[in-house]
Amino acid sequence: MFEIKAQLYFSAAHHLLNYDGECENQHGHNWLVEAYVKGTELDKSNILIDYKVLKKELKKVLDLLDHKDINELEDFKGISPSSEILSRYIYTKLKETIPNISKISVWETATSCASYYED
């Protein structure tokens, strides 16, 4: 099994719903997103997927969030846009174009991240 990872950043504001603490107030992050792809077959160049392709498709998804108030986006109306929810959202959107995506990790700080993957 082979696995590759690409990383990109996006910046956005959000606030958590049903949360008792500072994060219930609107605040922002410079999120680091890691996209993992797994597979057993390499192409004729002996690569799993071109990093350029993975980053291009990931950027398309992140552009939907970048410099936005995430709580105001239609896909997040009425739900708390935590890092966990963001990782699932990014995974689901990216899977539309990269079917062998295996995991998305969303870092909201240098020491805190949430990941989403399917069994």
- Using one digit for the tens of pLDDT, what is the confidence trace for 80-112? 999 999 999 999 999 999 999 999 999 999 999
Cα-Cα end-to-end distance for the chain? 15
In DSSP terms, 32 is beta-bridged to 9, 107
pLDDT digits (tens, 9 = 90+) for 38-80: 999 999 999 999 999 999 999 999 999 999 999 999 999 999 9
Q: How far apart are CA 118 and CA 103, in angstroms?
A: 8
Residue 51 in contact with residue 116, Cβ under 8 Å?
no
Q: Where are the domains of the chain?
A: 2-116
| CATH C-level class of 2-116 | alpha beta
User: Is a pLDDT exceeding 90 seen at residue 119?
Assistant: no
Q: Which residues contact 7 (CB under 8 A, 6 or more apart)?
A: 32, 33, 34, 35
Residue whose entry in the numeric block shows the structure tokens 């997040």: 76
Q: Measuring CA to CA, which residue among 92, 60, 9 is closest to residue 104?
A: 92
Buried b (16+ CB within 10 A) or exposed e, 59-98: eebbeebeebebbeeeebeeebbbbebbbbbbbebbeeeb
